[in-house]
């Protein structure tokens, strides 16, 4: 990898970059999705993206309008990702675990004009939750919608085979584009610029509510390019992507990175399943595997793991949570992924900041998160003094360069708190830099909990629990966990004379909080450890929970 060589994606938009790949590798497999009987080469995939983009323009969506996708991993998600970029429409990603209130927040905050969604997944009925948030939709003949508390939302399109009342079906949506003038899409593409915002990806923040990071074509393309370069990708690679598309891991490290190199995007299932992922690696001869540590633990511990043929695997990325070193070693030795890499980043940086390389010694690939990717500067600041610190000194990791977001959508104060006047993004994470330039993440300034790759901000949970009439005070913290790396624990103080059981509280959370945000541990207490000014000392709660649950060994486990 040469930092001085300008990557070919510089100056491109995402739509143009895909078209270049499709012309260069037309017959290479692009999207392989056995669950949906989908297998497209790049020529076919590019044509389907065109068809979808024409549908978006025919809906009346203009350059810079906002389109949201609320879905698990479906083929249409990938089509919409690239089609929106080709049509200059900003893609707003919505976590498929969100409930009705969380959906309503994003639709309002992001000024969404068109929503695409599936019908159901497991116990989540997306149509039902949408009608709960938007009851007038059920009585509408079809979109555009009548006036509501979402005045900008004009269209709802069903990705699923059967559309609900007020929705447009997927095929009907595609048919709209057939009547467009032949040059409508090319004229739209000519208007687009690499610096245009093209994604709004939501991440938890200091307010306790999700914040929409605005990312540009250039942000995403350069990140995807360097992520693939770190793994030495070519058009012969086949990336197994079991991580969710709504997250940067799925739609930047996964689908977008694949499209920059002509790799196959191989999707095991609409959500992570260990068996489906293992079968896909074998059957599709995947050369790369992505996942958070929790996923790799599930693969390694699956009853069918032994005796499988992983000889096709070479590389991949483990990211999203601190990686237990023993797990990384098992992936290298038992899964044949001898060139597996570790990446570190955050949504606000598009996302990767540092990554190990395939030819790094195993010691660096299991004990560090690598060095900065080209074009990204990193410095460490003393969290108390704000002064820059040197090697082997802990400080807050700050990044600057092509990955830094434009800002949070409609949140200027939060943006100013995250990005200083010199353009440095303050991550809130603590790190050490070794003398060889490799970094090691040592902790977080922020009170964020990272459960299985999902970022959870305790204040959001606390504010919801405060709505229960029996609760007087609450404090949520992260505690270490063998499977998910971290779990949420909540201490609850009840109002005098009122009672509440753990099961009643858990049921109160269900249907209102995404499943991964519901605390695993509840403790009813009469007081909290506090400072002299009355501030709850969460670190003491965490220490007590670790001792009570016998998690000392897990808490002290070495991670990269």
Q: Is 249 exposed, middle or buried (0-12, 13-18, 19+ CB in 10 A)?
A: buried
User: Any idea of the CA torsion for 151, 154, 160, 163, to the nearest 10 degrees?
Assistant: 100
Rounded CA separation 555/211 (Å): 29
- Residue 536's pLDDT is 75
Q: In this structure, what token pair is assigned to residue 179?
A: 């009547």
For 40, 379, 422, the CA distances from 447, given in Å and listed in that order, are 43, 21, 25
On the question of a cis peptide bond just before residue 516, with omega within 30 degrees of 0, the verdict is: no
CATH annotation of 449-555: 3.30.300.30
How do residues 233-251 score in pLDDT, each as one tens digit? 999 999 999 999 999 999 9
- Residue 307's pLDDT is 92
CATH level 3 topology of 14-334: Rossmann fold (3.40.50)
Rounded CA separation 100/107 (Å): 10
Domain locations along the chain: 14-334, 449-555
Rounded CA separation 141/515 (Å): 33
Q: In this structure, what token pair is assigned to residue 283?
A: 């059957």
The residues near 406 (Cβ < 8 Å, ≥ 6 apart) are 197, 214, 215, 216, 219
Q: Do domains 14-334 and 449-555 have the same CATH topology?
A: no
Q: In this structure, what token pair is assigned to residue 263?
A: 């790799």
Rounded CA separation 340/314 (Å): 7
Mark the ranges of the chain whose per-residue pLDDT is less than 50: 2, 205-207, 532-534
Tokens 């959370």 found at: 509
Query: In the 8-state DSSP scheme, what is residue 250?
Result: I
């Amino acid at each position: 990898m040469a930092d001085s060589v300008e990557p070919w994606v510089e100056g491109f938009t995402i739509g143009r970059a895909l078209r270049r790949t499709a012309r260069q590798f037309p017959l290479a497999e692009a999207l392989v999705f056995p669950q949906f009987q989908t297998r497209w080469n790049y020529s076919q995939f590019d044509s389907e993206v065109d068809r979808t983009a024409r549908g978006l323009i025919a809906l009346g969506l203009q350059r810079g309008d906002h389109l949201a996708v609320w879905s698990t991993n479906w083929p249409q998600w990938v089509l919409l990702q690239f089609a929106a970029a080709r049509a200059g429409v900003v893609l707003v990603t919505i976590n498929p675990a969100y409930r009705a209130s969380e959906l309503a927040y994003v639709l309002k905050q992001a000024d969404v004009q068109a929503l695409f969604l599936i019908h159901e997944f497991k116990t989540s009925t997306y149509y039902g939750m949408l009608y709960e948030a938007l009851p007038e939709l059920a009585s509408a003949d079809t979109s555009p919608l009548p006036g509501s508390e979402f005045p900008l939302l004009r269209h709802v399109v069903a990705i699923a085979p059967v559309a609900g009342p007020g929705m447009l079906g997927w095929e009907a949506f595609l048919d709209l584009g057939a009547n467009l003038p032949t040059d409508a899409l090319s004229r739209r593409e000519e208007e687009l610029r690499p610096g245009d915002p093209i994604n709004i990806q939501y991440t938890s923040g200091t307010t306790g509510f999700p914040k929409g990071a605005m990312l540009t074509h250039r942000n995403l393309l350069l990140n995807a390019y360097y992520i693939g370069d770190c793994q030495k990708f070519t058009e012969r690679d086949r990336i197994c992507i079991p991580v969710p598309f709504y997250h940067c891991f799925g739609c930047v490290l996964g689908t977008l990175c694949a499209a920059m190199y002509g790799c196959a995007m191989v999707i095991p299932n609409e959500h992570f399943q260990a068996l489906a992922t293992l079968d896909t690696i074998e059957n599709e001869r995947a050369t790369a595997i992505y996942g958070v540590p929790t996923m790799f633990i599930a693969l390694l511990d699956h009853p069918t793991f032994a005796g499988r043929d992983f000889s096709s695997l070479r590389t991949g990325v483990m990211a999203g949570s601190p990686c237990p070193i023993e797990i990384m070693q098992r992936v290298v030795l038992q899964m044949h992924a001898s060139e597996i890499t570790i990446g570190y980043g955050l949504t606000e940086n598009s996302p990767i900041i540092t990554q190990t390389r395939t030819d790094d010694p195993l010691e660096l690939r299991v004990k560090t998160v690598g060095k900065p990717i080209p074009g990204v500067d990193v410095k460490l600041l003393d969290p108390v003094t704000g002064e820059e610190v040197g090697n082997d000194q802990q400080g807050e990791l700050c990044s600057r360069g092509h990955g830094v977001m434009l800002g949070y959508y409609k949140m200027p104060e939060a943006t100013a708190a995250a990005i200083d006047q010199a353009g440095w993004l303050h991550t809130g994470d603590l790190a050490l830099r070794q003398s060889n330039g490799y970094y090691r993440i040592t902790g977080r300034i922020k009170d964020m909990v990272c459960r299985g790759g999902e970022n959870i901000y305790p204040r959001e949970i606390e504010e919801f629990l405060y709505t229960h009439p029996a609760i007087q005070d609450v404090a949520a913290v992260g505690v270490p966990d063998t499977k998910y790396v971290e779990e949420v624990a909540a201490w609850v103080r009840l109002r005098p004379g009122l009672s509440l059981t753990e099961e009643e509280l858990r049921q109160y959370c269900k249907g209102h909080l995404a499943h991964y945000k519901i605390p695993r541990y509840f403790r009813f207490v009469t007081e909290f450890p506090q400072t002299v000014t009355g501030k709850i000392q969460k670190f003491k709660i965490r220490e007590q929970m670790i001792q009570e649950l016998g998690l000392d060994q897990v808490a002290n486990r070495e991670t990269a």
